[in-house]
Amino acid sequence: MEANEILILAMFGSFILLLFIGIPVAWVLGGVGVAFAIIGYYSDIYFDTWTGLDFTTLGLVVNRLFKIMDNWILVALPMFIFMGNMLDKSGVADRLMHAMQALFGRVHGGLAITVMAIGIILAASTGIIGASVVLLATMSLPAMMKQGYHLPLALGTIASAGTLGILLPPSIMLVIMADQLALSVGDLFMGAMVPGLMLGAIYIVYLLIVGLVKPQSIPLPDDAKPVDWGVIKDVAKAIVPTFALILAVLGSIFSGIATPTEASGVGAFGAILLAAFYKRFSLSVLREVLIDSYKTTAYIFAIFIGATCFALVLRELGGDEFIEQAFEALPFGPYGVVAFILLVIFLLGFFLDWIEITLIVLPLLAPVVLGLDLDIGTYPGLDNAELVWFVMLVAMALQTSFLTPPVGFALFYLKGVCPPEVRLIDIYKGVLPFIILQLIALVVLVFWPNLILWLPSVAYG
C-alpha cells in the first residue's frame, strides 16, 4: 500500500476517532486537515515519499474560503434559516394545530395525522427541523398523552413530522448539495417535491392503518365533534397565509421569476409580515430571531471552513481517485453499486451529521455514480439528470440520520422538551417504524426515478 493510501485511511480513521471523543466537528475537520498536511510534508522529507503535500496546500484553503464567502447561492442559507426561526415565533403552527385538530378529530389517530399534516406545511415553509420538532412536541405531545396515545407512537410521529423540513424545499440541505455539486438549486427543489410529499403521505397512510388495526393505541378524543363549515373556514384562515408564503418562495423559484437566493429574501421578509399579521412581531422577537439565525449560520459555516481544509488535503492525497477505484472494484452491477453507496450513507448517518456527509462524502461519491452505466430514462433539457436523481436518493437516505441513534438531531430536540417521565428508549422505539418507512420510500425512488425527475423535466418542457 502506498504512502498516500495509508494517509487517506488514517485521515478518515482520525476523523471518526476524534468525533467519538467529543471534539466539535468543525475543529476535527480543520485540525485533521492541517495535521495531515504537516504529516505529508515531513513524510516526504524524512521517509522519501511523495505525497504532494506541503504548506502551500494550506495556503490554498484561504482562496477556497474566499470563494465560499463570495458564493451567492450560499446567501440563501441565512435567509431561509431566518425565515424558519421567524415563523417559529409567528404562531403559525399553533393556529394550524387548533384548526386542523377539529378537522381530523373524529378519525382514529386524527391528532397524529394533524401533527403530520402540520409537519408537511412547516417543512415547505421553514427548511430546518429544530424549530419544527420543538414546536410540534410542545403543542401536541401533552394532548396525545392526555388522549391515551401509545407513547412511542406519539413520539415517533412528532419526530418524523418535524424532520420533513430537511427534505421538502426550501431545504437548506438541498441548497448545500446544489452548491457542492454545481447543480441548480431549482432543479433539486423541484426534484424534492414529489419524494417529500410522497414520504409525508406514506406516514399518514401508516397512521390510518394503525388506527384501523390498533384503535386503542390512538383513541378518539372524548370531545370530538362533527366537521362543519365553521371548522373548514377556521382551517382555511389558518392555512391560507402560510400557503401564500410558500407560494411566494417556491412559486417564484419554479416559475423563474426569482433565483433561490432572491426568493430566500422574499421568504424572510414574508415571515416578518406574517408575524406582524398575527401580532407576534416586536423588536425583542426580531433580536431573538437574529441571534438564533446567527448561531445556526455560524455553526454551518464553521463546518464549511473545516470541511474545506479536510477535503483539499484529501484531494491532494488522491482521495477522490482512491475512493472511485474502490467502488469501481466492487463485484456488483451499476444498481448494486448505488445500493451499496446508499447503505454506506445510511450507516454513516448513525454517527455523522448530515452536514459532514454532504460536504465530504457526497462530492467524493458523485463521480462514481456518473461513471456507472445507469438506465434512468431520458429527460430532455434537464442537465445532469443522473446526478439530480442520485442527490435526491442521498437526501432521502440522510432523512433517516435525524432519527437514527445515537446522534439523530430530532431525538435530542424531542427529548429536550419532553416531560421527565419520557425515556430515551421510548423515543427510539417510536421512530423505528418511521425509519423503515423512509427506507421503503428510498427503494421506491431507486426503482422509479421518474418520481424525482418528472417535475424538473416538465419545467423545461
Which pLDDT tens digit goes with each residue over 358-383? 888 888 888 888 877 777 777 777 77
Does 78 sit behind a cis peptide bond, omega within 30 degrees of 0 on the bond before it?
no
Question: Residue 309 and residue 37: Cα distance in Å, rounded?
Answer: 10
Indicate if 108 and 2 belong to the same structural domain.
Answer: no
- Label residue 264 by pLDDT band (50, 70, 90): confident
Last residue of a domain, one of 246, 281, 296: 296
Indicate if 159 and 82 belong to the same structural domain.
Answer: yes
pLDDT tens, 8-22?
A: 888 888 888 887 787
Question: Residue 180 and residue 354: Cα distance in Å, rounded?
Answer: 13
Indicate if 13 and 85 belong to the same structural domain.
Answer: no
Indicate if 41 and 124 belong to the same structural domain.
Answer: no
Does residue 404 sit within a domain?
Answer: no
pLDDT tens, 303-331?
A: 888 888 888 888 888 877 777 777 777 77
Indicate if 140 and 98 belong to the same structural domain.
Answer: yes
pTM value is 0.82
**227 pLDDT above the threshold of 70:** no
Domain with 17 in it: 1-53
CB 167, CB 402: distance < 8 Å: no
What is the pLDDT of the chain when averaged over all its residues?
82
Indicate if 118 and 2 belong to the same structural domain.
Answer: no
Last residue of a domain, one of 279, 296, 313: 296
* DSSP letters spanning 376-387: ----TT-TTHHH
pLDDT tens, 187-200?
A: 888 899 999 999 99
Question: Residue 147 and residue 101: Cα distance in Å, rounded?
Answer: 13
Indicate if 215 and 286 belong to the same structural domain.
Answer: yes
Does residue 67 sit within a domain?
Answer: no
- CA dihedral for 313, 316, 320, 325, sign (positive or negative): negative
Amino acid at residue number 171: S
- Label residue 433 by pLDDT band (50, 70, 90): very high
pLDDT tens, 72-115?
A: 777 888 888 888 788 878 877 777 777 776 666 666 777 788 88
Does residue 36 sit within a domain?
Answer: yes
Does residue 431 sit within a domain?
Answer: no
Does residue 395 sit within a domain?
Answer: no
Does residue 406 sit within a domain?
Answer: no
Q: Which three cell numbers stand for residue 288?
A: 431573538
Indicate if 173 and 129 belong to the same structural domain.
Answer: yes
**Any idea of the CA torsion for 441, 446, 452, 453, to the nearest 10 degrees?**
-170
Nearest to 219 by CA among 107, 100, 102: 107
Does residue 434 sit within a domain?
Answer: no
Any idea which residue has 378518539 for its cell? 220
Indicate if 32 and 89 belong to the same structural domain.
Answer: no
Does residue 260 sit within a domain?
Answer: yes
Q: Which three cell numbers stand for residue 328?
A: 469501481
How many structural domains does the chain have?
Answer: 2
Indicate if 244 and 283 belong to the same structural domain.
Answer: yes
Indicate if 20 and 165 belong to the same structural domain.
Answer: no
Indicate if 280 and 184 belong to the same structural domain.
Answer: yes
Last residue of a domain, one of 281, 296, 311: 296
